[in-house]
Amino acid sequence: MSKKPADKLETKRAAWLERTQHILDISKEEAQALLSIERQQSLRLNPLLVDPKDTLVKLQTLGWQGEPYIWAANGYTIKSGLEAIRDSELVARGAVYIQNAASWLPVLALDPQPDDEILDVCAAPGGKSSHIAALTNNQAELTVNDNSRPRLAKMRANLDRLGVNAEYTLFDATQLTRKLAGQRFDKILLDAPCSGEGLMRYDRDKDFATWSVAHIHRLHSLQKQIILQAWELLSPGGILVYSTCTMAPEENEAVVDYLLRKRADAIVVPTTIEPPNRVPTVKRWNSKDYNPAITGCLRLAPSEQIEAFFVCKLQKLADVPETML
């Protein structure tokens, strides 16, 4: 006899709670409290279009109150005034971009510079691409890709509104080496399709509609394909940042471990950004030990200001020592 929908929901909820306990090495009560936190949005000022100081004054007239993030230039908390900001002309004309602060971390780890050739593999809706453009003053050669024509069209409109210069491609990320044959990039951002646990809430039933351990395993297979494709497009000496907004080790540490096993020219560059909710990476999962270098990746637990997130910065060695082959 098949389970009732309510029973299936509770089974999923219990599974997510138990997994989180083990991932973060905390009690059931602590895990449930973390997964029930209501996340706050943050805002990023867009220096491509406005003077950030002038924009802060305008935000205050809308009732905004907040504080700067010490680790993210032009990034601020939103303690009050979210609705007024969201409906304002500042957002409509691209002066302000509302995001959770976790989304800035992959771009900061990428450290984009003017004249870098950069590929954003799974770029829609374009928030991270616009951040790259802002940090480089539109001086990087930025290619943004997505595999959905409707998403690509919306992203183009979004990036046009934000004053971003970019080249657009519509490719399946598992076919990138064939579609972009002969091209190489200095830096690649792979914010991978994932189960989105960082966006979920324990007490919000609709968040469990697509979540399951089986779905996590399917995504794990897809992520492994994409990271190998992206790696082949990276120039020797180049940087690839892999990120997800999920806590599942299968989608995070396991994918990085897979790349390190498959590609001798891949090394982890320790991420030094220190948000307050940084926690240790998972070193062992489902009886499998991961490469010790994975301790250098950035893993975030859920918090009020910054969602659960995972970021790993990888460099492609120009010369591979024979001992690594």
Is 245 one of the annotated active-site residues of the chain? yes
List, in sequence order, every beta strand (DSSP E) within the chain.
42-45, 75-77, 96-99, 117-120, 141-145, 167-169, 185-191, 234-244, 266-269, 278-279, 284-285, 288-289, 298-300, 309-316
How much is the pLDDT for 324? 53
Domain ranges of the chain: 101-324
Band (pLDDT 50/70/90 cuts) for residue 7 is confident
How much is the pLDDT for 321? 60
pLDDT > 90 in the chain, percent:
94
Q: Are 224 and 273 in contact (CB under 8 A)?
A: no
Beta strands 185-191 and 234-244 are parallel
Least Cα distance to 55 among 37, 74, 72, 68 occurs for 74
CA dihedral 21, 26, 31, 35 (to 10 degrees): -90
The pTM score is 0.95
Q: Using one digit for the tens of pLDDT, what is the confidence trace for 189-246? A: 999 999 999 999 999 999 999 999 999 999 999 999 999 999 999 999 999 999 999 9
How much is the pLDDT for 108? 98
Neighbours of 146 (CB within 10 A): 25
**CATH class name, domain 101-324:** alpha beta
Instruction: Say yes or no to pLDDT of 6 above 80.
Output: no
Q: Give CA–CA dist 255/220, Å, rounded.
A: 7
DSSP state, 68? B
Least Cα distance to 108 among 71, 68, 155 occurs for 71
- Average confidence (pLDDT) over 296-308: 96
Answer with the residue of higher pLDDT: 1 or 315: 315
DSSP states along 245-289:
S---GGGTHHHHHHHHHH-TTEEEE------TTEEPPP-EETTEE
- Average confidence (pLDDT) over 177-195: 97
Lowest mean pLDDT among 24-28, 154-158, 224-228, 321-325: 321-325
Question: What's the residue count for the chain?
Answer: 325
- Average confidence (pLDDT) over 260-266: 97
How much is the pLDDT for 325? 52
Kindly provide the b/e burial profile for residues 295-325, where b requires at least 16 CB atoms within 10 angstroms of the residue's own CB. ebbbbbbbbebbbbbbbbbbbbeeeeeeeee
- Average confidence (pLDDT) over 102-128: 98
DSSP states along 217-245:
HHHHHHHHHHHHHHHHTEEEEEEEEEEES
From 122, 194, 245, 297, active-site residue: 245
Distances, alpha carbon 157 to alpha carbons 45, 94, 130, in Å: 18, 11, 12
- Average confidence (pLDDT) over 274-296: 96
Lowest mean pLDDT among 5-14, 135-144, 169-178, 226-235: 5-14
Q: Using one digit for the tens of pLDDT, what is the confidence trace for 78-87? A: 999 999 999 9
Amino acid at 217: H
